[in-house]
Amino acid sequence: MRTETNDRTTGPDPTPQPSPGLVAAGPGPTGSTGRPARLLGIDLGERRIGLALAEPGGPARPLATLARRRSAAADAAVLAHIVRQEHVGELVVGLPLDAAGGEGEQAARTRAWAEVVAARLGLPVVYRDERWTTERAASRLPRLGRGRSGGPPGPVRRAAHRARLDREAAAVILEAELAARGATR
């Protein structure tokens, strides 16, 4: 199983840089349809998993937000259905680096989760720096407005907005990976 780290972006509006270990030769794996397999972007949170999908050279689009299960193996079982249905051939997981670009406890937990999921799904995984992705995703979405009575929005609207933000953040992660791959060609 191939594991790569592509985490060379910084700041609130990063320009992705190619990673020295990135493999960019050839069109990549193909799905059961014979076309190049898709990439699944993952924004892993403590409660939710944001997902986005992209063709190898195409734009990323937000796909879904899943509730986290009790274990990475249980999350993999849920993701397996999406991987089959969407002809996914590679996982791109957002890696939560600290402000200086180092890996802390959360990054280690994310790597451990991703390794279990990738092994269960039989897919390669690459990591992409996810600093500032939530902020960039939030800037793409309309603000969460006031509630019906003019007060704060209710819990259902807040939960729906957070779920939408998670899948949009996954799209930002995937777009950064696609841009870095384009820069290496």
Q: Assign residue 128 the CATH number of its domain.
A: 3.30.420.140
- Spatial neighbors of 24 by CB under 8 A, at least 6 apart, are 181, 184, 185
Would 14 be classed as within a structural domain? no
Would 24 be classed as within a structural domain? no
pLDDT the model gives residue 24: 27
Angle between helices 155-184 and 133-140 (to 10 degrees): 110
Would 27 be classed as within a structural domain? no
Would 169 be classed as within a structural domain? yes
pLDDT the model gives residue 79: 97
Closest CA to 5 of 26, 24, 19: 19
pLDDT the model gives residue 147: 59
Question: Structure pTM?
Answer: 0.73
Give residue 114's pLDDT band: very low, low, confident or very high (50, 70, 90). very high
Would 18 be classed as within a structural domain? no
Would 16 be classed as within a structural domain? no
- Stretch among 4-13, 35-44, 97-106 having the lowest mean pLDDT: 4-13
pLDDT in tens, 5-31: 444 333 333 333 333 222 222 334 544
Would 121 be classed as within a structural domain? yes
**Position 83: which residue type?**
V
Range of the domain at 120: 3-8+35-141+152-184
Would 19 be classed as within a structural domain? no
When divided into structural domains, the chain yields a total of: 1
